[in-house]
Chains A and B, each alone.
Chain A
Amino acid sequence: MADTALLIATRKGLWILRGNAARTDWQLEGPHFLGNVIHHARLDPRDGCTLVVAARTGHLGPTVFRSIDGGASWQEAVTPPAFPKAEGGRVVDHVFWLTPGHASEPGTWYAGTSPQGLFVSRDGGANWAAVEGFNEHPDRRAWCGDDKDQTPDGGKLHSVLVDPRDPAHLFVSMSSGGTFESRAGGADWAPINQGVRAEFYPDPYPVFGQDPHCVRMHPARPGRLYQQNHCGLFRRDEADGRWVDIGANLPQDGVRRDIGFGIVIHAHQPDTIWTIPMDAGSVWPRVSPEGKPCVMRSRDGGDSWQLCRAGLPTEQAWFTVLRQALTVDREQSAGVYFGTTGGEVWASNDEGDNWRCIARHLPEIYALEAERFA
């Protein structure tokens, strides 16, 4: 079995942190694309060797790089994600999110962009086409809002999910905009936000307009979604069709911990999830509450939670962990990892019980993915 490797996408390039079988020793490899802003990097789980990387620089426009040899060499996409030319047409500022397609569709990848757009590649990331059913949907502008409604560096389409039962069953989420579902391979979409709060609107439960930060699906239980939202933590079961507030089940000790960016699920236990709380008080510092980083873990789908902080700094540690920077590996005893905007990678190889820093002095970490090379 191959060992775990962490793809570290940063504001200044891509690094790969390769672990040994015990996940006790880590070797840093890189940088790749030094100076490029790397928003996301993924390994294709269908072949274990194709890497796809979303890149731009401070000056040059957004593109996608691919490697079919595990990062030994790179090729730029022939046709990167771009909106159609049109009067008043939109411009892709950056490719924000990458998702490998369904297992039955080798070569298919999805990309979410800023501003919110959905693109698909059918050839391993070489050529990208707009998913017109979403990008040109007559309600898209209403769903996404105007520029002033967006996150500071632009609205984002993220959390592209493919149902392992049906390659035409897709989900996307938008900051802002909410979560949307297509059962037609992207040809049409509908909002699925019932029960998700949007405290920043007069109507706190609108049909759309919420701010999901990250939405995850477990391949063994694809009818259930977990969501870390701007306004809390939620779980949705397909049969109910409504999101349930699982943040309300967090320990009530006077510190709000239901706000964060990322959420991940155990590879073999669909009820085990992790989040990282951030301070959402006053002017939204988005750092560890009280300067005391912790990871929240639930083993029952969010009905109850444990606070995990052994090994993490106990005071004056103001971590910010972005939505793509929390990840979990595929081992039976899960390794959980997060990267901070201060350039540190923290790891637990006992499902969150104990933590240690395994890399530091890196640039601002945008995304971290635990992958397994063939």
Chain B
Amino acid sequence: MVRVRLPTHLHQYSGGLADVQVDCAAPATLADVLARLDARWPGVRHRLIDEQEGIRRHIRIFVGSAAAAGIEAPVGAGEEVMIVAALSGG
């Protein structure tokens, strides 16, 4: 299980949940985690990851304490994933 922390921006999908457990066996990648999230809440992946598989400009995703460069980032056993809606101006 991977713990995923969600920003308020995604509460429209999660029904207000800020923290979810995703069933994802190790070894896993961020792509695996996002696929599980999208299966649970269809459409959420597209809001975070563009059609060329890049993390969108104002989204940061941390695996543990490191910002993921892409969706192939490994997610180790016991590591948390934190999705952050980064600065986007007024």
Which residues from chain A sit less than 8 Å from chain B, CB to CB? 57-61, 63, 76-78, 80, 82-86, 89-92
Q: Check A91/B52 contact, CB under 8 A, given A58-B58, A63-B47.
A: yes
- Asked if B51 and A91 make an inter-chain contact with CB atoms under 8 angstroms apart, the answer reads yes
Show 30 residue pairs from A and B whose CB-CB distance is below 8 angstroms, ordered by the A residue. Answer: A57-B88, A58-B89, A59-B7, A59-B58, A59-B59, A59-B85, A59-B86, A59-B88, A60-B56, A61-B46, A61-B47, A61-B49, A61-B50, A61-B56, A63-B43, A63-B46, A63-B47, A76-B42, A78-B42, A78-B43, A82-B46, A82-B50, A82-B51, A83-B51, A84-B51, A85-B51, A89-B52, A91-B52, A91-B54, A92-B51
Q: Which residue of B lies closest to A88 (CB)?
A: B52
Q: Which residue of A lies closest to B85 (CB)?
A: A59
- B90: shortest Cβ distance to chain A, in Å? 9
Collect the chain B residues with CB atoms within 8 Å of residue A61's CB.
46-50, 56
Measured as residues with beta carbon below 8 angstroms from the partner, the interface class of chain B is: 20 to 34
Which residues from chain B sit less than 8 Å from chain A, CB to CB? 7, 9-10, 42-43, 46-54, 56, 58-59, 85-86, 88-89
Given the complex of chains A and B, what is the CA–CA distance between A59 and B48 in angstroms? Answer: 8
Collect the chain A residues with CB atoms within 8 Å of residue B42's CB.
76, 78
- B20: shortest Cβ distance to chain A, in Å? 17
Given the complex of chains A and B, what is the CA–CA distance between A80 and B52 in angstroms? Answer: 14
- Asked if B88 and A58 make an inter-chain contact with CB atoms under 8 angstroms apart, the answer reads yes
- Asked if A59 and B9 make an inter-chain contact with CB atoms under 8 angstroms apart, the answer reads yes
Given the complex of chains A and B, what is the CA–CA distance between A101 and B17 in angstroms? Answer: 38
Collect the chain B residues with CB atoms within 8 Å of residue A90's CB.
52
**Nearest 4 CB-CB pairings of A with B:** A58-B88, A59-B85, A60-B47, A82-B51
Beyond contacts A60-B85, A83-B52: 18 other A-B pairs, Cβ-Cβ < 8 A, are A57-B88, A59-B9, A59-B58, A59-B85, A61-B48, A63-B43, A63-B46, A77-B43, A78-B42, A78-B43, A82-B50, A85-B53, A90-B52, A91-B50, A91-B51, A91-B52, A91-B54, A92-B50
Given the complex of chains A and B, what is the CA–CA distance between A84 and B53 in angstroms? Answer: 11
- Asked if A85 and B43 make an inter-chain contact with CB atoms under 8 angstroms apart, the answer reads no
- Asked if A59 and B43 make an inter-chain contact with CB atoms under 8 angstroms apart, the answer reads no
- B46: shortest Cβ distance to chain A, in Å? 6
- B85: shortest Cβ distance to chain A, in Å? 4
Q: Which residue of A lies closest to B51 (CB)?
A: A82
- Asked if A80 and B46 make an inter-chain contact with CB atoms under 8 angstroms apart, the answer reads yes
Given the complex of chains A and B, what is the CA–CA distance between A82 and B46 in angstroms? Answer: 9
Q: Which residue of B lies closest to A36 (CB)?
A: B12
Q: Which residue of B lies closest to A82 (CB)?
A: B51
Which residue of B10, B52, B85 has the most chain A CB atoms within 10 A of its CB atom? B52
- B7: shortest Cβ distance to chain A, in Å? 8
